[in-house]
Structure formats: structure tokens, C-alpha cells
């Protein structure tokens, strides 16, 4: 039974939410494995828009199991809020189960304060984070001082861990960032309250996934962010604090790597980036503004405008390699409608005129590189109603075909609008 991982191939916001919602139809278990509520995954079903930050994008379907894996960092405030909002909107189906790993690390109030204070400080280099405490929470996880979901059910241990953490965090908050100190008792009281609210959802999620696999169920792993925000393989230091590549689907959900059979990379038909960092194909002209306006490129989490540019196949090829992508899903094709010429970056040229097809580890070099473009003719016809590849204008088909050639990965799907049904499906990753 094939299991599928869905990951971003760019700098996030490729449309993972829409595709995970769509692929949930053929899945039984949908698991988030990394990141936290820095993610903003948008689903549009029957014209109704839902933005999820933490809960897997399979939640709108009935009879599914949705999992927040051990690799996710969880802000319990957001988790509780998201459940309440779904319930209020009648969007939490009666037979769908939601579980959160007892091993997941918690985002604590000091993580959020430190994230924001660091970004605001003139001494630190601004990353343009979402300010949700993601980096500081992962730091504590790796430093072995993190507080996990399971710690919420042992009050003595929770207080002890909090006191130990606060010795250091308060020193930073007051001494370095001129903020007021926090008290362990107050945080413990707040988090013990959350503990009761989230208790029905807490489970050994690795075991749940394993049991589901043993009984022939299909698993869909939902990535957050994108390949170039990966802590190892991204444009460091302008990255997020987790591994976003598909390999982490195994680690972040507690199963072995051989359980993942297909990896679908979500690739926007152009490129966007939120926050700081190099972006070789960025367009600061009229065309960039048009893409931003038509594509409504504003962050689903922070509302910040997304920087826009041409599709960069150097980035996509690297994503195919680092995530073992077996197929691509092209999204937001409709946004390119009306452009006379569409450019695809096929390589970079260095200052000395040397051509390269690799993203350099030293991002200062990337900032100096000039993109080398291939130009394709655009199309004028509205493609929102296209449901088969043959419905696309010839030039749109050529664009898709060229992406397939340049990426070396099969195209599984072309998305022509935000709605679930606004999709051209070429292959089903659970079948072939
Ligand atoms: P994610 O973080 O990868 O899930 O992506 P986001 O939800 O942050 O951003 C993608 C945005 O594009 C959302 O507003 C989607 O509703 C929208 N979207 C997804 N696919 C398409 C598409 O094919 N066409 C258009 N016009 N919008 C799309
Ligand atoms: P989804 O899942 C786009 C970016 C931030 C910042 C950097 C580090 O919706 O695709 P962080 O708060 O993670 O420490 O910020 O990463 N970033 C995203 N950009 N989409 C996301 O998620 C992102 N999550 C983080 O803007 O540049
Ligand atoms: Mg997003």
C-alpha cells in the first residue's frame, strides 16, 4: 500500500494545504511531521476558505485519522483555538480522529518572547521569522531542555523543568532584551489548564501510524514550509528551524523511511518568499506586482506581502534531489495567465561569467549570482475551468511539459485555482 509524503519545493506557501486536502480523499491517516504554527495552509472547499496552522489539512474529511507527530512543535493555545474554530464552523467531522504526539515539544511563552525580541534587536541579524517561537522551541529540543506534551501530566516535573529553563530565559529576557521576567508558577498554572483541554488528543502517534499501516491503511504525510527553508539544505541562516525535506516525515512521525513510497513536491508555477534571504529570480517590477496581486500573495500566517519572482528550476532540481521527489504538483498556473512572456530560471551565472546549476552553500554567492532564463510564450485564455490537460492552451501545456523536462520528475497534477475541484489530475500518487 503506497504511502505518500507531500512537501514544499520552494520557500513555502506552494499550495501544500490544497493538495493535502485533495489527496486526503485517497488516504486514511494524515500526519504533520515538522514545523509548527509558522505554517499557514489554506483549503478552499465549495468556496469556503479555511486556514490551518497546526492541524493537518485532512481534517475537513470524515472518517480519517489526523496526527500531529513528534517532530512538530506545538503551541497549545493555537491547537485549542484551531479545534474550537473548526468545531464552531461545523468543520470537524464526527468520525474523524485527531491525535497529538506525547513526544511533541511545546512552544512556551518565553519561546515566543525570545523570537520576537531577537528579531527586534539591533544586534541580531533579522531572519524575518513568523514570531511564533518556532526557532527557540527547537533550540530547547536540541539542547535537551525542552518541555514535551507528556511533561504536562507530571506537575512536579513540569515545575522543575520550568524553573530550570527560566533561570536562563529570564537572564536573556531581562539582561539582553530589557523584557520583564516570567515566573514558573504562572506558566505552570496556564499550561496545566491546557493539559486538561488537550488530554483527549494526546497519544503514542508512532504506534497509531504503525498499526494503521499494518492493517493496510494509507498514510499521507503533510510537510510544512519548503525545501529551501530546510535547516540543513535551505538558504541558511534564512531558514526555519526544522528539516522540511521528506526524510523527516519518517523521523518526525516515528516510522521508518521505507514506509514512504511516493514523495510529491508542490511547486508553484512561479516563486515566492516571505521574510529575509536571497531570492535570485525576485521581480521588483510591474510583473512582480501583478503576480502578487493576481496570486493574492500575502502570508496566510502573518499577512506579510510575499516577494514574487520567476520559477527557479535550480531550486526545484535541488528539492527533487534532497527530498527524493517522485512527482511534482504544479500550482497557481492560473496566476500566470495574461503574461506575454514567462521566464524559467535554468541556471545561475557568477560574477566571473561561470555558469552553475547548483545552489551554493555560501548564500553570499547566491546573492551575487544572476539567473539565466529560458523564455516561453504565455497564454491569454482563462484556465480556471480546465479539468483535463487538453483543456489548457497549447502554451500552458508547453510550460508544464518544460517543467517536467527540467525537473526530471513526473507532473502529477496542475492546479488552476484555489478550490479543491480546480485541478487537473494526471496521476494518483496512492496508485502509481
Ligand atoms: P501552503 O502553505 O503551501 O499550504 O500554501 P498557502 O495556503 O500558504 O498559500 C497558497 C495560496 O494559494 C492559498 O491562498 C491557496 O488558497 C491558493 N492556491 C492554491 N492553489 C492555487 C491555484 O492553483 N490557483 C490560485 N489562484 N490559488 C491557489
Ligand atoms: P507554510 O507551511 C512561508 C519563513 C519565515 C521566515 C523563516 C523563519 O505555510 O509553507 P520561522 O518562524 O519558521 O522561524 O521563520 O521561514 N516561514 C515560512 N514562509 N511559508 C511557511 O510555512 C513558513 N514558515 C516559516 O517567513 O523567513
Ligand atoms: Mg502557507
**What is the dotted CATH code of the domain comprising 4-101+203-263?**
3.40.440.10
Average pLDDT over residues 335-341: 98
Please list the residues that pair with 155 across neighbouring strands: none
What's the CA gap between 270 and 342, in Å, rounded?
9
Kindly state the percentage of the chain with pLDDT values over 90. Answer: 97
Phi/psi region, residue 311 (left: phi>0; alpha: psi -120 to 50; beta: rest), is beta
- The residue written with cell numbers 506558566 in the block is 187
Q: What is the pTM of this model?
A: 0.98
The domain spans of the chain are: 4-101+203-263, 105-197, 267-425
Average pLDDT over residues 223-241: 98
Where in 232-326 does DSSP place strands (E)? 262-268, 271-273, 307-309, 311-312
CA of 75 to the centre of ligand 3 (A): 17
Taking residue 143's Cβ as centre, other Cβ atoms within 10 Å add up to 10
pLDDT at 125 (0 to 100): 81
CA dihedral sign, ordered 244, 326, 296, 293: positive
SS3 328: strand
Supply φ then ψ for residue 207, to 5 degrees. Answer: -65, -40
Q: What is the fold, at CATH topology level, of the domain defined by 267-425?
A: Adenylosuccinate Synthetase; Chain A, domain 3 (3.90.170)
Report the DSSP beta bridge partners of residue 328.
265, 411
The tens digit of pLDDT for each residue in 280-328 reads 999 999 999 999 999 999 988 888 999 999 999 999 999 999 999 999 9
Nearest CA to ligand 2 atom 20: 12
Which amino acids bring their CB within 6 angstroms of ligand 1? 8, 12-18, 39-42, 44, 300, 331-332, 334-335, 415-418
Long-range contacts of 336-340 (CB under 8 A, 24+ apart): 336/269, 336/270, 336/291, 336/378, 336/396, 336/399, 337/378, 337/379, 337/380, 337/381, 337/382, 337/383, 338/294, 338/378, 338/380, 339/287, 339/290, 339/378, 340/377, 340/378
SS3 22: helix
**Fold of the CATH domain 105-197:** Adenylosuccinate Synthetase, subunit A; domain 2 (1.10.300)
Given the residues 21, 28, 41, 151, the one annotated as active site = 41
Q: What is the pLDDT of residues 243-287, one digit of tens each?
A: 999 999 999 999 999 999 999 999 999 999 999 999 999 999 999
**41 included as an active-site residue:** yes
Ligand 1 atom closest to the Cα of residue 301 is 8
Known catalytic residue: 13? yes
Residue with cell 531558514: 239
Amino acid at each position: 500500500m503506497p504511502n505518500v509524503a507531500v512537501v514544499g519545493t520552494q520557500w513555502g506557501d506552494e499550495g501544500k494545504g490544497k493538495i493535502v486536502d485533495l489527496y486526503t480523499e485517497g488516504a486514511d491517516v494524515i500526519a504533520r511531521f515538522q514545523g509548527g504554527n509558522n505554517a499557514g495552509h489554506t483549503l478552499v472547499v465549495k468556496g469556503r476558505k479555511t486556514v490551518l496552522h497546526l492541524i493537518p489539512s485532512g481534517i475537513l474529511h470524515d472518517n480519517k485519522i489526523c496526527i500531529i507527530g513528534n517532530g512538530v512543535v506545538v503551541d497549545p493555545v493555537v491547537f485549542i483555538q484551531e479545534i474550537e474554530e473548526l468545531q464552531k464552523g461545523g468543520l470537524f467531522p464526527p468520525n474523524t480522529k485527531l491525535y497529538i504526539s506525547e513526544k511533541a515539544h511545546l512552544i512556551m511563552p518565553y519561546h515566543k518572547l525570545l523570537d520576537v525580541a531577537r528579531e527586534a534587536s539591533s544586534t541580531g541579524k533579522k531572519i524575518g521569522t513568523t514570531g511564533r517561537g518556532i526557532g527557540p522551541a527547537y533550540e530547547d529540543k536540541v539542547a535537551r531542555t525542552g518541555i514535551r506534551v507528556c511533561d504536562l501530566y507530571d506537575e512536579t516535573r513540569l515545575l522543575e523543568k520550568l524553573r530550570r529553563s527560566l533561570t536562563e530565559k529570564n537572564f536573556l529576557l531581562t539582561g539582553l532584551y530589557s523584557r520583564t521576567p516570567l515566573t514558573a508558577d504562572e506558566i505552570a498554572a496556564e499550561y496545566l489548564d491546557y493539559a486538561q483541554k488537550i488530554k483527549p488528543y494526546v497519544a503514542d502517534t508512532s504506534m497509531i501510524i504503525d498499526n494503521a499501516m499494518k492493517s493496510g491503511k494509507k498514510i499521507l504525510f503533510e510537510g510544512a514550509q519548503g525545501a529551501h527553508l530546510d535547516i540543513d539544505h535551505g538558504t541558511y541562516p534564512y531558514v526555519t528551524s526544522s528539516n522540511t525535506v521528506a526524510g523527516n516525515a519518517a523521523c518526525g512521525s516515528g516510522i521508518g523511511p521505507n514506509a514512504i513510497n511516493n514523495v510529491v513536491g508542490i511547486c508553484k508555477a512561479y516563486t515566492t518568499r516571505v521574510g529575509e534571504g536571497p531570492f535570485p529570480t525576485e521581480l521588483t517590477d510591474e510583473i512582480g506586482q501583478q503576480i502578487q496581486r493576481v496570486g493574492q500573495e500575502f502570508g496566510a500566517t502573518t499577512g506579510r506581502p510575499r516577494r514574487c519572482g520567476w520559477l527557479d528550476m535550480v531550486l526545484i532540481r535541488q528539492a527533487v534531489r534532497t527530498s527524493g521527489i517522485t512527482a511534482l504538483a504544479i500550482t497557481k498556473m492560473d496566476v500566470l495567465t495574461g503574461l506575454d512572456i514567462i521566464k524559467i530560471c535554468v541556471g545561475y551565472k557568477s560574477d566571473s561569467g561561470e555558469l552553475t546549476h547548483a545552489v551554493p552553500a555560501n548564500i553570499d554567492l547566491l546573492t551575487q549570482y544572476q539567473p539565466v532564463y529560458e523564455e516561453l510564450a504565455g497564454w491569454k485564455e482563462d484556465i480556471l475551468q480546465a479539468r483535463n490537460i487538453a483543456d489548457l492552451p497549447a502554451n500552458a501545456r508547453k510550460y508544464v511539459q518544460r517543467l517536467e523536462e527540467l525537473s526530471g520528475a513526473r507532473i502529477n497534477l496542475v492546479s488552476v485555482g484555489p478550490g479543491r475541484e480546480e485541478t487537473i489530475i494526471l496521476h494518483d500518487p496512492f496508485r502509481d
